[in-house]
A = this chain, B = another copy of it.
Amino acid sequence: MGVDLGLLVGRMNNTTTLSASEYGAVVNMNLFVALLCACIVIGHLLEESKWMNESITALVIGLCTGAIILLSTGGRNSHLFVFSEDLFFIYLLPPIIFNAGFQVKKKQFFRNFMTIVLFGAVGTVISFTVISIGAIQIFKRMNVGSLDLGDFLALGAIFSATDSVCTLQVLNQDETPLLYSLVFGEGVVNDATSVVIFNAVQHFDLSRITTSDAFNLIGNFFYLFVTSTALGIGAGLLSAYVIKRLYFGRHSTDREVAIMILMAYLSYMLAELFYLSGILTVFFCGIVMSHYTWHNVTEKSRVTTKHAFATLSFISELFIFLYVGMDALDIEKWHFVRDSPGKSLGVSSILLGLVLVGRGCFVFPLSYLSNLTKNNEREKITFRQQVLIWWAGLMRGAVSMALAYNQFTRSGHTELHGNAIMITSTITIVLFSTVVFGLITKPLVKLLLPPSTNMSRMASSEPTTPGRSFIAPLLGNVQDPEAEPGQNGSGLYPSHLRVLLAKPSHTVHYYWRKFDDAFMRPVFGGRGFVPYAPGTPTEQSVHNLIPEESSS
């Protein structure tokens, strides 16, 4: 699909008259950028609504535009350019995941690390198994076309990939920090698992799998997980060290910001180079950068990186949803299934049911397992939270689309009936789960965790109210998203108090803090370990008003 991107970047130079197709590409690009602007404005206007969010706005605008294009081209076309895996994996996904790592509440994430890995690795395998077996059992009786075992297993992998992008839009880190951290963290680990499973499906002869192959797969997963994480951490630490040593802030905010962007992108591309999971790498790179590098730069660089990364991520997300909305009406895909609309609908419903069951099969048992390891009653995942975790991870998105295109359009055999049905079913499920499940999530959170129970927002302003303190350890350092990482939020929870409160299960965290303060921060910089850089008056005044805590 590399060539498809040519449409997007079709020759549009200043100097010569454009050919008709090139001119068309310019028109499409203009329309697309204008639609992105419209999404932002309309999304803003609809923000007060408790049902809508920007993903759904973008999807709906995409659908409407697709319908208009479909009508105006007489049913020939519905999208502005062809879906490209490259565009998605090289340009759109990295900023989203990096930003998620950069803005994630680190304490919350690491406190739930084991649960997240359990959900993301074991859970995905369970979901994959359930969906694959279900698909084999049901579809073999339905005569959906020439699908072999590899295709069924690929279906399992495709529909096990949760959409972390959509989750970010639907769940709110400040309102439901535990849910956000579990579901989103799971989504990131889930990607590594999906990569391994999908590659395994495509490369192993699965009808003759041996025990050693299985161990090979498990080993492969651990290798991928560890090396990807290490690469991300390494890139983050390198950027921190370089900026601390050379002290770019002496002269140029722009250089600091540039080196942070480039190093983050480099980590992602390096991961791709070594066949690792770029998503895991760039996620951990974001975490390390927000913990060390971010504290080594000037005040202006901090504000700039914080919002520039968020903006890039925001635009990428809108781009994806707008695109998926437009792509859904692509007539070519529906062309092949027009003689059997009922079958296509049936397949979609069955797959959707399998997704629901597959996710249920691991969320509840694994939550139970996770609760067993927690001595502290307050840290256990309640049943209502389990339901929300199950629900919030049901959305399938661009990752599923990309994998489905990869599996079912290879070597140009889209014409095969079975493949066409799988593609249209994937689109149906992505649209349905994003719109319907997405719409219901916000009200469901309000229903299951009403404000009196879901007190995370209050926790930061009323940390000492006795009746509510039981939530505090769960929430970690609840900070204003604007203040994280660093400035003033964590003063609300003196660290010694927190360690005391939560000592049994947080000893690892305690020793990590000691190590961090004794070795890591002096070398790589971080809050309280970087001399203040004199700057402009604005910078100075901000600094003077918010005294830096020495170590916290």
Residue A73 CB within 8 A of the other chain: no
Residue A337 CB within 8 A of the other chain: no
Contact of B303 with A255 in the complex, beta carbons under 8 Å: no
Select A246's contact among B45, B242, B252, B541, beta carbons within 8 Å: B45
Chain B hits for A315, CB < 8 A: 258, 261-262
User: In chain A, residues 522-552, which have Cβ atoms closer than 8 Å to a Cβ of chain B?
Assistant: 536-538, 541-542, 545-546
**With A248-B44, A253-B307 in contact, do A262 and B33 touch (Cβ < 8 Å)?**
yes
Of A12-20, A111-119, A325-333, the one contacting chain B is: A12-20
- Map CB proximity to B onto A468-489 as digits: 1 under 8 Å, 0 otherwise: 0000000000001011000110
Of A179-187, A268-276, A430-438, A501-509, the one contacting chain B is: A268-276
Contact of B90 with A9 in the complex, beta carbons under 8 Å: yes
Residue A226 CB within 8 A of the other chain: no
Select A546's contact among B1, B27, B303, B537, beta carbons within 8 Å: B537
Contact of A11 with B2 in the complex, beta carbons under 8 Å: yes
**With A269-B26, A270-B30, A273-B26 in contact, do A314 and B14 touch (Cβ < 8 Å)?**
no
User: In chain A, residues 157-198, which have Cβ atoms closer than 8 Å to a Cβ of chain B?
Assistant: 191, 195, 198
Contact of A11 with B488 in the complex, beta carbons under 8 Å: no
The answer for the CA separation of A488 and B541 in the assembled complex, in Å, is 14
User: In chain A, residues 189-221, which have Cβ atoms closer than 8 Å to a Cβ of chain B?
Assistant: 191, 195, 198-199, 202-203
Q: Mostly helix, strand, loop or mixed at chain A's interface?
A: helix
Of A34-42, A125-133, A145-153, the one contacting chain B is: A34-42
Select from chain B the residue with minimum beta-carbon distance to A192: B14
Select A537's contact among B37, B402, B488, B541, beta carbons within 8 Å: B488
Give, as a whole number of angstroms, the nearest-CB distance from A263 to chain B: 6
Contact of B11 with A86 in the complex, beta carbons under 8 Å: yes
Give, as a whole number of angstroms, the nearest-CB distance from A460 to chain B: 13
Contact of B257 with A406 in the complex, beta carbons under 8 Å: no
Contact of A41 with B304 in the complex, beta carbons under 8 Å: no
Residue A266 CB within 8 A of the other chain: yes
Give, as a whole number of angstroms, the nearest-CB distance from A473 to chain B: 26
Contact of B195 with A482 in the complex, beta carbons under 8 Å: no
Contact of B541 with A13 in the complex, beta carbons under 8 Å: no
Residue A387 CB within 8 A of the other chain: no
Give, as a whole number of angstroms, the nearest-CB distance from A186 to chain B: 18
Residue A259 CB within 8 A of the other chain: yes
**With A89-B14, A258-B314, A273-B27 in contact, do A538 and B33 touch (Cβ < 8 Å)?**
no
Select from chain B the residue with minimum beta-carbon distance to A310: B254
Chain B hits for A246, CB < 8 A: 41, 44-45
Chain B hits for A89, CB < 8 A: 12-14
Residue A6 CB within 8 A of the other chain: yes
The answer for the CA separation of A8 and B85 in the assembled complex, in Å, is 14
Chain B hits for A12, CB < 8 A: 86, 89-90, 272
Contact of B541 with A14 in the complex, beta carbons under 8 Å: no
**With A14-B89, A304-B304, A541-B545 in contact, do A37 and B311 touch (Cβ < 8 Å)?**
no
Select A33's contact among B255, B269, B279, beta carbons within 8 Å: B269
Chain B hits for A272, CB < 8 A: 12, 14, 26
The answer for the CA separation of A114 and B17 in the assembled complex, in Å, is 30
Contact of A29 with B538 in the complex, beta carbons under 8 Å: no
- Map CB proximity to B onto A297-341 as digits: 1 under 8 Å, 0 otherwise: 000110110111011001100100000000000000000000000
Residue A265 CB within 8 A of the other chain: yes
Pick the most buried of A191, A254, A545: most chain B CB atoms within 10 A of its CB.
A254
**With A2-B9, A315-B258 in contact, do A33 and B266 touch (Cβ < 8 Å)?**
yes
Contact of A304 with B314 in the complex, beta carbons under 8 Å: no
Contact of B259 with A40 in the complex, beta carbons under 8 Å: yes
Chain B hits for A251, CB < 8 A: 44, 47
Residue A360 CB within 8 A of the other chain: no
The answer for the CA separation of A482 and B303 in the assembled complex, in Å, is 14
Contact of A314 with B254 in the complex, beta carbons under 8 Å: yes
Residue A361 CB within 8 A of the other chain: no
Select A536's contact among B17, B406, B482, beta carbons within 8 Å: B482
The answer for the CA separation of A3 and B21 in the assembled complex, in Å, is 14
**With A90-B12, A266-B30, A487-B538 in contact, do A255 and B40 touch (Cβ < 8 Å)?**
yes
Pick the most buried of A257, A318, A402, A488: most chain B CB atoms within 10 A of its CB.
A257
14 contacts between A and B (CB under 8 A): A5-B9, A6-B6, A11-B85, A11-B86, A12-B90, A13-B86, A14-B89, A17-B199, A26-B273, A30-B269, A40-B262, A41-B246, A300-B307, A541-B541
Which 4 A-B pairs give the minimum distances between C-beta atoms? A304-B307, A308-B308, A257-B311, A13-B85
Besides A5-B6, A12-B272, A27-B273, 6 new A-B residue pairs in contact (Cβ under 8 A), listed by A number? A5-B9, A13-B402, A13-B406, A33-B262, A43-B255, A257-B308
